[in-house]
Structure 1
């Protein structure tokens, strides 16, 4: 028993044969994507078990005097689920009887059939419609209010038609609507209604039409909106800041309108580019959008020249201070040294200079394991040098005022006194020791804290990012960005 006939995409020509009517048990007939000609036969209405009928795309026509009356013959199908007659050369007006098609119908496609006239209000009787495709026709008038009865509809396409009027409140109540036209009607005129329901996973394209007026605040209620195209129309006013709540919005196009005011920068708006706002001359905002800066922007008062001059003057000031500090430290280094290496009684003469890095290696980076004594003004470490020499390395705490005097007195005494019970002073280390480094470093930190109004313990400095590294990276490129703003006023 033949129930399914699939002859799509076979380059068939000629007319639909009458013999098909002999197969009364057919429930699915697909003749799409061929080159069939002639009229749509009315005998198809006798095959009352049809669940799926696809006749497009083809080259089918109809008698001008009969119009689309063949649709009336299809009302006998009680289990019809899919009806596709799109992309044929049909002419005529949708009959009111279209509302008598089976209530089981889920897909109705009449795209590109040169259908004219108005959409009959009876179409609202097709309560189980999921997809209604009426685009690319010569339809006129407005969308009937009865469309709002199609609560299961997910795709509503009326693009490239002569339909006009307002977006109806009833359409906005279609909560399952996922696509209100991939490209909506080019002549859909009027202002947006201000009462919208909540759509789910909506891709809304209203481009290339005659819509005008303001973008409604209640667009923000479309919380699942993923794509919004409002380009090439006469929209005016500001972009509602409430649209920042559309966290799922991944595509936005508001180009070629007359919008004004500041471009929002929260929510999804921080991911959009200048391409979303082309030819809206009155918009303002961040430089990345290629629009003018807003007057309320805090940095508007600074011209590029002023910012450059501030940058140069601050850079010169910082460099001068840094040079002065370096000169002062070099002079102090010549007078103050904070490491004293003593030779024990078994040591032989050692007449060359000992570097700080040799001392670091000898004391294993001044670890606790090498610590042999503590005093009121410093620590004593055991050091084993590369040639086997064992020495006591005394580290003075230069943060204590008494350490300077003790250091100089001990150096002078050990240099001049010779006694078998005194340990010989081997060398005063020639480089900048760690405590001296800390002294210099602490002064540098103080300087950085003064100019940036930040502390090394701030939450900004975590991981490998230290305050010193932060300042160094910005010094020659963006030093003005790290200087405390209060110093510039």
Structure 2
């Protein structure tokens, strides 16, 4: 009965079909809990409940299905721990529990099932603890996938017994220690993913000897040392090693630094010692002269107007060298007016370099506007500009670039909507992380609208223009469309608008911008949409938002009693790595208790109401950013407050 439009619960009468050998409900809209009566169907060989909306715990009665060979329960909402009674299913060949809300440890009884010969998949859950050493009993298993969990400890060396493994996925966990040498026994291994863990030590040379290996992902660990040039390491498209800053060597396409070679110490002859001894004092005198010259030149430059300082920024050559001649490997983003590259400056600092597409109409104006907006702005939640470049390239064409602080955690859009090929650090954001981000963005807008000498409208606020630093602090960037708002009398006005064409990005553009009117109230609308996107996990341009339904209306209709139905509930399951995690846990020690649940829902309703008010269709109905900051901070304090 798979792939239909069935909804509701599985009737308990299903337990009367005692001679059933296959039960398939996959790909429907069925909900409710797993019926324990299915445990009576002890002749079942196949049970397929995947791709539905089942919830609750997996009952231990599933262990009664002793002749079961295929159990598919992925893409549901099952929670709680994996029942150890599954170890009674001694004929199980395929087990898939992925993409649920399961937690707790992996039962050793499950990874001891030597019958598992096709696949064991438990990815995209919240499983904790270690991978049990009993996994070595899976000698006939072809695929093992426990990625995207919270597993820790070392990778068990007993995996060397799993000689039939072709696909091993351990990425996006917290495994530590060295990559076990025992993996060299897996001669048939074709795909290995160890990315996004805390693995350390050298990259084993034996990987180059595994002739079947066609994909190796070691990215985002703490590996060091030299990379081989042989075997799979000779194919840059077959391996991924980014995020390991201490690696060196390898083929040229990997763009790793050369490994340092320690030469044996040799005795220096007098032919070398004497010239060096004589030349050192001369060198010191020259160096002192250069320092004095530099001080004088710097003092003169500092007395020049700020505009001249910007014109004397980095050269085209330095920008080209910093980005490795604008290589695709360093390209981290692209927009209407420019492309953004990751670059390493001469002082060793990493920067984000925005290279303008001057052939694009409006790009030059965008460059000037962004320079004007950012040269004097100083706020912890606004992206800091480091330098600029106004020069010509090697062919004599005009070249302009802006150099910004590098944000190590990318942009917010990547965290909310990661693509399948993006790496581990784009994990689900927790409730407190999302709340901190919306407060950071609101603080930046409050500064631009109310605290800066002349009010500034950003005009293009969206998730991809919110950057996150190493500490997950949000910074608003991309001021290419920003506008200073003046009255004709040159007196700043917070409500002054100017007509200058349609501004912003689809989904975030306020209704009044159709007429070309730019104002801080438009920023407030875009902020409201952004807040709703952050807490629902849905883009404002999602396919579900069509005809008369928008993300604003979607949330408005759910308030207040159905707020939990529109939220991205993964934020409540995501473990935080800082002290805020413990504070939140202290407030809600039993999240399923009615009191704690009600308190949490009240806070979330308050947050969503702010998003709805900010994104009101009529500008006069929107609230100011000072109101937003004060109220969101109060909500955060309420969540942090300890229960007495």
Q: What's the TM-score, normalizing by structure 1?
A: 0.50
* Residue number in structure 2 paired with 1:152: 115
CA contact (8 A) 1:217 1:243 kept: no
CA contact (8 A) 1:201 1:224 kept: yes
> In structure 2, the residue corresponding to 1:219 is in which secondary structure?
helix
> In structure 2, the residue corresponding to 1:35 is in which secondary structure?
coil
CA contact (8 A) 1:80 1:104 kept: yes
Q: CA RMSD in A?
A: 2.0
Matches within 5 A, 1:237-316: 237-273=201-237, 276-286=240-250, 287-296=252-261
Equivalent of 1:106 in 63, 69, 73: 69
* Residue number in structure 2 paired with 1:46: 16
Q: 1:149 to 1:208 in 2, by over 3 A?
A: closer
User: Which structure has the greater CA radius of gyration?
Assistant: 1
Equivalent of 1:184 in 144, 147, 154: 147
Q: What's the TM-score, normalizing by structure 2?
A: 0.39
TM-aligned CA deviation for residue 201 of structure 1: 4.2
State the alpha-carbon separation in 1 of the partners of residues 46 and 237 from structure 2.
42
Q: 1:80 to 1:297 in 2, by over 3 A?
A: farther
> How many equivalent pairs are there?
260
Q: 1:58 to 1:273 in 2, by over 3 A?
A: closer
State the alpha-carbon separation in 2 of the partners of residues 76 and 167 from structure 1.
31
Q: 1:275 to 1:80 in 2, by over 3 A?
A: closer
* Residue number in structure 1 paired with 2:102: 139
State the alpha-carbon separation in 1 of the partners of residues 130 and 209 from structure 2.
25
* Residue number in structure 2 paired with 1:219: 183
1:308-359 superposed Cα distances (whole Å, 9 cap, x missing partner): xxxxxxxxxxxxxxxxxxxxxxxxxxxxxxxxxxxxxxxxxxxxxxxxxxxx
1:418-466 superposed Cα distances (whole Å, 9 cap, x missing partner): xxxxxxxxxxxxxxxxxxxxxxxxxxxxxxxxxxxxxxxxxxxxxxxxx
Matches within 5 A, 1:250-399: 250-273=214-237, 276-286=240-250, 287-296=252-261
TM-aligned CA deviation for residue 141 of structure 1: 0.8
Q: 1:201 to 1:146 in 2, by over 3 A?
A: closer
> In structure 2, the residue corresponding to 1:61 is in which secondary structure?
strand
State the alpha-carbon separation in 1 of the partners of residues 136 and 148 from structure 2.
16
1:466-486 superposed Cα distances (whole Å, 9 cap, x missing partner): xxxxxxxxxxxxxxxxxxxxx
State the alpha-carbon separation in 2 of the partners of residues 244 and 84 from structure 1.
39
Q: 1:236 to 1:264 in 2, by over 3 A?
A: same
* Residue number in structure 1 paired with 2:89: 126
Q: 1:90 to 1:198 in 2, by over 3 A?
A: closer
State the alpha-carbon separation in 2 of the partners of residues 149 and 278 from structure 1.
34
> In structure 2, the residue corresponding to 1:147 is in which secondary structure?
coil
State the alpha-carbon separation in 2 of the partners of residues 172 and 250 from structure 1.
23
* Residue number in structure 1 paired with 2:125: 161
Q: Work out whether 1:200 is the aligned partner of 2:170.
A: no
CA contact (8 A) 2:216 2:238 kept: no
TM-aligned CA deviation for residue 83 of structure 1: 0.4
CA contact (8 A) 2:151 2:175 kept: yes
TM-aligned CA deviation for residue 250 of structure 1: 0.8
TM-aligned CA deviation for residue 274 of structure 1: 8.6
> In structure 1, the residue corresponding to 2:182 is in which secondary structure?
helix
